[in-house]
């Protein structure tokens, strides 16, 4: 109790009385007896170290709660960052998807303004304008699928893949690359797919191949094949001679 044995001052005695009172509240004093006579009482209680250890569970709970709170805040920040990243990606994809047909329409308008009265030329331009309008309608439909369950219909996926390849081939002059697209198709049965979303996936695969080709002459091979082990399952393989993905990014 940090009081010298010879110190009998009132201040020290008051400190002892106060300490005895606290001990008696924690534990009942034990009488020291000789026969029937009480010689003294033994007052006892927990040391300061034991009292400090008694606070340990509360500190642990507080620490765990703090870690949980930090984790929750971190998770929320990561989720918000991912949401922002998704919206930015969607905005870029929308601009990219709309850019090609809009630029094309602007070009056709300029041609119409400077063209002669050649009826055949007008028919060709009107046909191409119609194709670009269909393209814009297709893009709008694609984005309308986001957040909803896709509706599957039986369709010819070979025809859908050929339509996408035809569109990519028309865009090759704008890319500025000499790229050959090779088709290797087996006879594929009709399958249930969402045509709009399926064509979007194939288009993105081909665009990724185009972006990966960093040489003057490129080659993209797209293969459609049946799964020999499971009927009704089809493999779509897209190969290119581009730069590929570095090993450290493989998953």
User: What is d(CA 225, CA 234) in angstroms, rounded to the nearest whole number?
Assistant: 6
Print pLDDT tens along the chain (251 aa): 677 778 778 888 888 888 888 888 888 888 888 888 888 888 887 777 777 777 888 888 999 999 999 988 888 888 888 877 777 777 666 666 666 667 677 776 777 666 656 667 777 777 777 777 777 777 777 776 666 677 888 989 999 999 999 888 887 877 777 888 999 998 888 888 888 888 888 988 998 888 888 877 889 999 999 887 877 789 999 998 888 777 776 66
Sort 168 into a burial class: Cβ within 10 Å, 0-12 / 13-18 / 19+: buried
User: What is d(CA 36, CA 43) in angstroms, rounded to the nearest whole number?
Assistant: 20
Boundaries of every domain in the chain: 155-251
Q: Which residues contact 3 (CB under 8 A, 6 or more apart)?
A: 12, 15, 16
At 172, list the tokens.
Answer: 């090759």
Contact 129, 105 (CB under 8 A): yes
Q: What integer pLDDT is reported at residue 117 of this predicted model?
A: 65
Q: What integer pLDDT is reported at residue 221 of this predicted model?
A: 92
- The 3 state secondary structure assigned to the chain is CCCCCCCCCHHHHHHHHHHHHHHHHHCCCEEEEECCEEEEEECCCCCHHHHHHHCHHHHHHHHHHHHHHHHHHHHHHHHHHHHHHHHHHHHHHHHHHHHHHHHHHHHHHHHHHHCCCCHHHHHHHHHHHHHHHHHHHHHHHHHHCCCCCCCCEEECHHHHHHHHHHHHHHHHHHHCCEEEEEEEECCCCCEEECHHHHHHHHHHHHHHHHHHCCCCEEEEEEEEEECCCCCCCEEEEEEECCCCCCHHHCC
Residues in a beta bridge with 178: 217
Contact 184, 224 (CB under 8 A): yes
Q: What integer pLDDT is reported at residue 179 of this predicted model?
A: 87
Instruction: Write down the pTM of the prediction.
Output: 0.52
Q: What integer pLDDT is reported at residue 95 of this predicted model?
A: 64
Q: What integer pLDDT is reported at residue 212 of this predicted model?
A: 86
At 80, list the tokens.
Answer: 């918000």
Q: Domain 155-251: state its class.
A: alpha beta
């Amino acid at each position: 109790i940090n009081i010298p044995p010879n110190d009998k001052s009132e201040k020290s005695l008051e400190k002892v009385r106060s300490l005895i009172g606290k001990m008696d509240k924690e534990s009942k004093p034990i009488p020291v007896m000789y026969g029937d006579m009480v010689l003294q009482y033994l007052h006892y209680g927990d040391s300061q170290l034991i009292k400090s250890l008694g606070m340990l569970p509360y500190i642990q709970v507080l620490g765990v709660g703090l870690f949980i709170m930090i984790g929750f805040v971190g998770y929320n920040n990561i989720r918000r960052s991912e949401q922002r990243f998704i919206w930015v990606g969607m905005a870029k994809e929308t601009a990219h998807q709309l850019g090609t047909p809009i630029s094309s329409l602007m070009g056709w308008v300029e041609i119409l303004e400077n063209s002669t009265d050649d009826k055949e030329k007008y028919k060709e331009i009107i046909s191409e304008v119609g194709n670009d309008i269909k393209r814009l309608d297709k893009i709008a439909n694609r984005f309308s699928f986001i957040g909803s369950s896709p509706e599957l219909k039986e369709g010819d996926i070979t025809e859908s893949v050929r339509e996408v390849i035809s569109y990519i081939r028309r865009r090759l002059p704008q890319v500025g690359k000499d790229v050959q697209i090779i088709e290797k198709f087996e006879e594929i049965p009709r399958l249930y797919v969402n045509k709009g979303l399926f064509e979007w996936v194939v288009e993105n695969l081909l665009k990724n191949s185009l972006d990966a080709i960093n040489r003057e002459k490129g080659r993209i091979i797209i293969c459609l094949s049946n799964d020999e082990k499971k009927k009704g399952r089809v493999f779509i393989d897209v190969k290119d001679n581009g730069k590929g993905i570095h090993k450290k990014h493989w998953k």
